[in-house]
Each structure stands twice: as structure tokens, then as C-alpha cells.
Structure 1
Amino acid sequence: MRGIRGAITVGENKKEEIWQAAKMLLSQILRRNKVKPEDIGACIFSSTSDITAGFPSTGARQMEGFDKVPLFDTRVPEVDDSMERCIRVLLLVDSELKQAEIQHVYMGKAQELRPDLRNF
């Protein structure tokens, strides 16, 4: 089992934008790591306290194959000067990839969280 991380920011606190961001992030993670929904043991979303209009997992649930994936939403601790309107995700997946081969995905402003991964 491997963990795959990712993050994305949303421009506005609107449920459709939150859902779309979650779907975009998950799509990239799945594509880059050749993961299928049936390979996912759990998908854990966290979001900053300024995201209140919708659950990221609701967007994920709209994706093909995610009807059986265990999804969970939680809140990121409030920390001074932390990134605003940020959704993070941790996928626990069955994969033959080695840890060094996993491609974590940080999109939009969230790329600032992991500048070491910008080339991916």
C-alpha cells in the first residue's frame, strides 16, 4: 500500500468550484500514478476553515468508479499565515510503484506547499 498526496486551491468558496477542484486533483493523481478507483483503500480530504460551501468528497463521489471508495472529509488546523482556500488529499492505494516512483500532485497556488515537486 502507498500513500499519494496532493493539494489544490479554489478561487471562491462555492460548492461547484470545490467539487470541480477535487475532481481535477483526483483525476491528475490517478492519471499520473496509473491508479484505478478500485485500487483505492481510502481517500481522505482536508480543507482549510474558509472552505464551507461544500465537501470535496461530494465532488469525488461524482467521478466514475468512486461509488465504492471510502471517502472522508476533515478540517486542516488553523495555523497563522497558512494557505487560504486549500484542499488537500491523501489517497491510500494498492500499488506496485516504489515510494520514489509515486507522483504527488500539487496544483495552482498549492504548488507553493511543495516547491520540490514542481517539475512533476
Structure 2
Amino acid sequence: MTVRAIRGAIQVERDEELHLLESVKTLLKKIMYANDLSPDDLISVVFTSTPDLVSAFPAAAAREMGLDHVPLMCAQELNIVGALPRMVRILAHVQTHRKSSDIRHIYLGGAAALRNDLAQKEKGGVTL
């Protein structure tokens, strides 16, 4: 097994606790599914959010998913003029047999603008 880092991001529609937590769960689940990960493969996860998100800790979504034994940490993004609002980013450290070129980074919704080269395209609710 090799240690790899996986990135992901999602732009939430509004700063509301339930919406924020559900959005982060969606992102984390898609990262895990796309990279064929189980909870035991997670070493640690760092969550960041933009300063305009204050309704919940993004890591709480992972706890609600049952990731009780994974070290989690939240931090705030820099408040840069012109940055996309309402963004949550994930940096997951994982154990995997995948080569770095086979890791799938997930950027959903408005976050796709951050990395058009890595963003997951969706059509009719299906990731292409």
C-alpha cells in the first residue's frame, strides 16, 4: 500500500447547517467511491471552508457518516478578493494500491471552476 493525497471541493448553495453537512457528505462519498476506498483506507482528512461558511464544521459530516476513528481537522481558507464563495475543500490522505495517475480528484458544482481539468462532469445526475 502507498500513501496518496486526494483533493476535492464543493460549492454549497447556502450557509445552512443541514445543507452544508449533506453537501460535504456527498463530496466525501464521491471521493471514496471514485477511488474505491473504505473507511479503513483513510489516514486523515483536512477540511477547509471559506470565511462565509459559519453554520457547521465540515468535519461533522464525516463523523455523521461513521468515520469515528479517522483524524479530522477543519481550517479556514484565506479570504482572498475574487475567490469563489461558499467553498468546502477536502484533502484526504489515504492508503491505496492505485498509482498517483489513477487517483480521481472530485470537484462538484461551482467548484468545478477551480480545476476544470479534474472536475467530474455530470449529466442527469450521473457522473461521466
Report the TM-score when normalising by structure 1: 0.96
Match of 2:117, SS? helix
| Residue 28 of structure 1 pairs with residue 26 of structure 2 | no
Gaps of 5+ in 2: 122-128
Report the TM-score when normalising by structure 2: 0.90
Gaps of 5+ in 1: none
- Is the helix fraction higher in 1 or 2? 1
Match of 1:27, SS? helix
Partner residue in 2 for 1:92: 93
Partner residue in 2 for 1:56: 58
Distance in structure 1 (CA, Å) of the matches to 2:119 and 2:60: 28
Matched-pair identity in %? 34
Deviations 1:8-67 (A, max 9, x none): 011111111111111000000000000111111101000000000101111111113x01
Report the CA distance between 1:118 and its aligned residue.
Answer: 3.1
Distance in structure 2 (CA, Å) of the matches to 1:63 and 1:86: 20
Runs of 4+ more than 3 Å apart: none
1:5-84 equivalent positions in 2, closer than 5 A: 5-64=7-66, 66-84=67-85
Match of 1:115, SS? coil
- Is the strand fraction higher in 1 or 2? 2
Distance in structure 1 (CA, Å) of the matches to 2:43 and 2:98: 15
Q: Number of residue pairs matched?
A: 119
Partner residue in 2 for 1:108: 109
